[in-house]
A and B are shown apart, each in its own frame.
Chain A
């Protein structure tokens, strides 16, 4: 038995009103679905089992190009896979360029946090994202 919780994060250049008419159509969206064990006692928090991440890049596609993967081990760097299709429109890469961007989950006394480190965006205007963007706990 398990239960899940969704969180969404948007990059700072995200336009909520409407997308641009030309690239970059919009910024980046990260959907995290965290899966927890359920316990018999509802007062006891279940253990975080895994987090399914979907990183959607709207730079060159108004509908977004997504990369989906799962993270489960704390402290370990996970590469953001290039999507199988339309991977030329997926601009997320390492901060040094070339390779894939990375994420990791870090366990702290106050919870488990998602750390991101990558570049994305137009070739002529790459944007960098660094730092902690989400915290995972059971409410």
Chain B
């Protein structure tokens, strides 16, 4: 299984054209620390659906202090990548020394001078970032098959969300073994009968 097919369905009573944000937590970092808005579903009206993929693999990339961005390299658990100065300039390359943990991916700054930023991407969208890594430092990434989903306003894909925004996203969906599923949103709406937004998994297929 290379990717999980997810299908967001809006069965809410929302009348505010709310945005739905999906993100993952880098479990190598503490919960409630910064997270990146991986996917933001916009303008998905009542009874509309929005299919999307969650690939099992993710990619890593680095940028240096000169504003150069390396290509995105597919990373597997236990791998490490070194940013170093080659004869052509700064490049990111799979390291011969694996990550400390077999469940994590590391991006190391092996430059002699200059900080780097390390980024993770899933399905081409920014998933996590670690900035200001000085020479000798490393970023550590670990993702479990879980996504967080919630209704948040004024967030765009790739935005770094602080703990105040993250605390508004309270639903964790566990995707272990799932090949496809619908994520159904209910609740919301105007007036006294309005209820809080809720999410459920339906039409689950497993491998």
Query: DSSP majority for the B interface?
Result: strand
Among B73-81, B92-100, B130-138, B197-205, the stretch in contact with A: B197-205
Are A135 and B177 closer than 8 Å at their CB atoms? yes
With a CB–CB cut-off of 8 A, which chain A residues contact B176?
A: 113, 131-135
Binding site for A on B (CB under 8 A): 25, 27, 30-32, 144, 146, 148, 167, 170-178, 198-201, 206-207
With a CB–CB cut-off of 8 A, which chain A residues contact B167?
A: 125
How far is it, in angstroms, between the C-alpha of A113 and the C-alpha of B204 when the chains are bound?
12
Does chain B have a CB within 8 A of A39?
no
Query: What is the 8 Å Cβ interface bit string for chain A, positions 98-133, against chain B (1 contact, 0 not)?
Result: 000000001011110100110001000111111111
How far is it, in angstroms, between the C-alpha of A46 and the C-alpha of B38 when the chains are bound?
42
Q: Give the total of A residues in contact with B, Cβ under 8 Å.
A: 29
Does chain B have a CB within 8 A of A95?
yes
With a CB–CB cut-off of 8 A, which chain A residues contact B177?
A: 108, 110-111, 113, 132, 135
Does chain B have a CB within 8 A of A41?
no
Among A9-17, A55-63, A64-72, A78-86, the stretch in contact with B: A9-17
Are B174 and A116 closer than 8 Å at their CB atoms? yes
Are B148 and A12 closer than 8 Å at their CB atoms? yes
Are B172 and A113 closer than 8 Å at their CB atoms? no
Are B206 and A127 closer than 8 Å at their CB atoms? no
Binding site for B on A (CB under 8 A): 11-15, 17, 27, 95-96, 106, 108-111, 113, 116-117, 121, 125-135
Are B31 and A13 closer than 8 Å at their CB atoms? yes
CB distance from A120 to the nearest CB of B (A): 10
Given contacts A110-B206, A131-B173, 14 further A-B contacts (CB under 8 A): A12-B25, A12-B27, A12-B172, A110-B177, A110-B207, A113-B177, A127-B171, A128-B172, A129-B174, A130-B174, A131-B178, A131-B201, A132-B175, A133-B174
- The residue on A at minimum CB distance from B24 is A12
User: Can you list 8 A-B pairs, Cβ within 8 angstroms, ordered by A?
Assistant: A14-B31, A17-B30, A110-B177, A113-B177, A128-B172, A130-B174, A132-B174, A133-B174
How far is it, in angstroms, between the C-alpha of A117 and the C-alpha of B207 when the chains are bound?
21
Are A131 and B174 closer than 8 Å at their CB atoms? yes
How far is it, in angstroms, between the C-alpha of A106 and the C-alpha of B176 when the chains are bound?
12
CB distance from B103 to the nearest CB of A (A): 13
- The residue on A at minimum CB distance from B169 is A127
With a CB–CB cut-off of 8 A, which chain B residues contact A125?
A: 167, 170
How far is it, in angstroms, between the C-alpha of A126 and the C-alpha of B201 when the chains are bound?
18
